[in-house]
Amino acid sequence: MKYLSTRGADQLLSFEEAVLAGLAPDGGLYIPEHIPQLPADWQTAWKDYSFVDLSIEVLSLYIDEDEIPRAELRALVEKSYSTFRHPDITPLKKLTDSTYVLELFHGPTFAFKDVALQLLGNLFEFFLKRRNQHKGPTEKPEKLTVVGATSGDTGSAAIYGLRNKANVSIFILHPKGRVSPIQEAQMTTVTDPNVHNLAVQGTFDDCQDIVKALFGDREFNATHRLGAVNSINWARILAQTVYYFLSYFHLRRQLPDPNADVEIQYLVPTGNFGDILAGYYAKRMGLPMGRLGVATNANDILARFWRSGAYEKVDSSSPAGQSEPAAGASDGKQGADASGVKETLSPAMDILVSSNFERLLWYLAFETAEGADLAERQRKAGATIADWMGKVKSDGRVQVPVAVLELARRDFFAERVSDSQTLETIKYYFESEHYIADPHTAVGLCAARTVASQNPPNVRQIVLSTAHPAKFSEAVTRALQGSPSFDFERDLLPAEFKGLLERERRVIDVEAPDVELVKRVIEKYVVPTVGQVGASV
């Protein structure tokens, strides 16, 4: 299997090269040259597999054995998920006869990002170790400078996945004051010498733009050998496809009749579009499911796209081009700042532009591209994406053709959820099912309830639960205030969080969202090297 950029098909990379490079030199994201189909007997052969076993089967479809032999792949996967607290890794919990929650927060940092980043950290270490073991005694070891942006959970998950890894330095940018106290503490209390936290005065989109600019600076990239941990890295998406397969089998086991004619409808709280994109790949591979539900908060660029086909930073249909509050919003937290990003109770989704959406757009452009030759259609799709993303960057918007929007609606639908609806949903499920959801999961649950009445009776909904509710104690406590049966410390607080806010911290303040300021920080802590890990890119 080889990998190409969403903005050009001229150069094909191996899995190792794509993972180490992260972002393509042309600014595109790496995707597989084709989406593999499942083996004919997968439903019977895989039905009793563990998460680790399923990971090996799914990853093997995208990673050639001559790149990572199967025995070594198993060792990597087993090491990655040995850190999880639940034996199922991502357990499926039944709420009602038609609604289930897929809990993705049983890893080291209590967030779904652990599923991918524990594996990615081990992949980085594996590839570097293999490259360096062939070097002579006088040759310098190859090193990697990992940079990433976080709206909360990616940062801590990446740090826990890479702390103390040999020949790896990690720099995580977060928007100062825009992540929850627990999220900030999880990042900044890790004081390993290879870990560097940067608090940027700005938004998550500012942080993400800086990271992309660093990768786009070929000289800086080559000098410092940059690697990516954000979901722009293909390995992140690949790792996350596995829990769609696990949930499919586990839901079947929980049905009174495992062979019943049931359609699964996944609903995914969505910010950067990575988690739900993994579901799209699973569907394209052959996993049976209905349309995927995109659940957004008031930062609704994706919901607006599915409504109109316009992918735009600011809602041009609103008066004076300004986005209106989400339905039911009444508090000040959803006011937009100068960047247009609204601050909500689900901050990991407070994103203006969804980076991974570019990957889906490539497939939509490819399907509508004319030409009988595969390579020609890939080139046309790449040129189309380069044009569309250029318009988003220069004009803040792009309008896709009707045929592209219809294809998007074939596999997805979208719902927008306000802060007040989020709070109401947390309260509803606590009172009706005694289940405590974090605000991001509540966005998904609210979207699920909204569309449930339109579903045929054979539909079973699976909502992806992306974080432990204790990470967002302010929102949960606010939603459940006045509930006599709720006690935060008794019902929610994990032992790992106790005393976390009082621990020693190490963080570097960056006074403005300026790529040059971030470069200075990296140059201060990393000794420049020559060459690039992904030497062929």
Q: What's 408-452 look like in SS3?
A: HHHHEEEEECCHHHHHHHHHHHHHHHCCCCCHHHHHHHHHHHHHH
How many angstroms separate the CA atoms of 126 and 131, rounded? Answer: 9
As a whole number of angstroms, the distance between CA 533 and CA 465 comes to 35
Tell me whether strands 459-465 and 263-269 are parallel, antiparallel or unpaired. parallel
Contacts 24+ apart (CB under 8 A), 47-52: 47/249, 47/252, 48/249, 49/249, 50/88, 51/81, 51/88, 51/89, 51/90, 51/242, 51/243, 51/246, 52/77, 52/78, 52/81, 52/89
Contact criterion met (CB below 8 Å) for 63 and 31: no
What's the CA gap between 103 and 94, in Å, rounded?
11
Tokens 């360096």 -> residue? 132
User: Which residue has 């990446």 as its token pair?
Assistant: 158
Geometric angle at alpha carbon 459, from 458 and 460, rounded to 5°: 120
Residue 113 designated active-site:
yes
Q: Which residues pair with 483 in a beta bridge?
A: none
E-strand stretches of 445-493: 459-465
Place of tokens 């936290």: 197
User: Looking at 2, 79, 94, 113, which residue is catalytic?
Assistant: 113
Sheet containing strand 144-149, strands side by side: 226-228, 144-149, 168-175, 195-200, 508-510
Neighbours of 308 (CB within 10 A): 15
- What number of CA atoms fall less than 13 Å from residue 105's CA on the CB side? 20
Sequence-distant (6+) residues with CB within 8 A of 313 are 301, 340, 352, 353, 392, 396, 397
Query: What angle, 0 to 180 degrees and rounded to 10, lies between the N-to-C axes of helices 274-285 and 357-368?
Result: 40
**Tokens at residue 182, please?**
């627990």
Report residue 177 as tokens: 């004051």
Phi first, then psi: what are they for 351, rounded to 5°? Answer: -130, 135
> If we measure between CA atoms, which residue out of 437, 115, 88 comes closest to residue 250?
88
For the annotated catalytic residues, the residue numbers are 113
